[in-house]
Amino acid sequence: MTMNALLDAYYDGLSRRSGWDAPLADDFVFVGANANAGSRGRAAYGKVLEQFFRMFETVDVKQSMIDGDTACVVATYHAVSPSGKKTTFDVAEVWTARGGKLASLAIYFDTAGWRSFNAA
């Protein structure tokens, strides 16, 4: 599968909240604010997403740049706080692929803004 097809499958599954894990490698690595030192494997990433699924309504891919087995995606997440407040967050997502599967994801976003939003 090409990187473009892998990303399309992932974001489509993320939007549907089902099938997002199909394009991930068994030893998938996630690095981000909710991953502590990093999460390894689809199951560990699934636990991160379980928490996140409660906080976002939709995701839109705003921009993507693909170079072989690496990609950078800017995704806009439409979030809802525990109090019902709504906002959007742009997240830079850096992907790698290996052997026709997504191998890793590192995310970068405004963590202070996210914490403030969730506290409201």
Positions of E strands within the chain: 24-31, 39-40, 56-67, 70-80, 86-98, 101-108
Domain boundaries, the chain: 3-119
Give this prediction's pTM.
Answer: 0.88
CB atoms within 10 A of CB 32: 19
* CATH of the structural domain 3-119, one choice from 1.10.1060.10, 3.10.450.50, 3.40.50.300, 3.40.50.880: 3.10.450.50
Q: Is residue 116 very low, low, confident or very high in pLDDT (cuts 50, 70, 90)?
A: confident
Q: List CB contacts of 95: < 8 A, sequence separation 6 or more.
A: 3, 6, 7, 70, 71, 72, 73, 102, 104, 105
State pLDDT tens for residues 54-71: 888 999 999 999 999 999
Q: What is the mean pLDDT of residues 70-89?
A: 93
State pLDDT tens for residues 1-44: 899 999 999 999 999 999 999 999 999 999 876 555 567 888 88
Distances in whole angstroms, Cα of residue 26 to Cα of each of 29, 49, 67: 9, 16, 23
Q: Is residue 111 very low, low, confident or very high in pLDDT (cuts 50, 70, 90)?
A: confident
Q: In the numeric block, which tokens belong to residue 6?
A: 């892998």
Q: List CB contacts of 67: < 8 A, sequence separation 6 or more.
A: none
Higher-confidence residue of 113 and 37: namely 113
Q: What is the mean pLDDT of residues 91-102?
A: 97
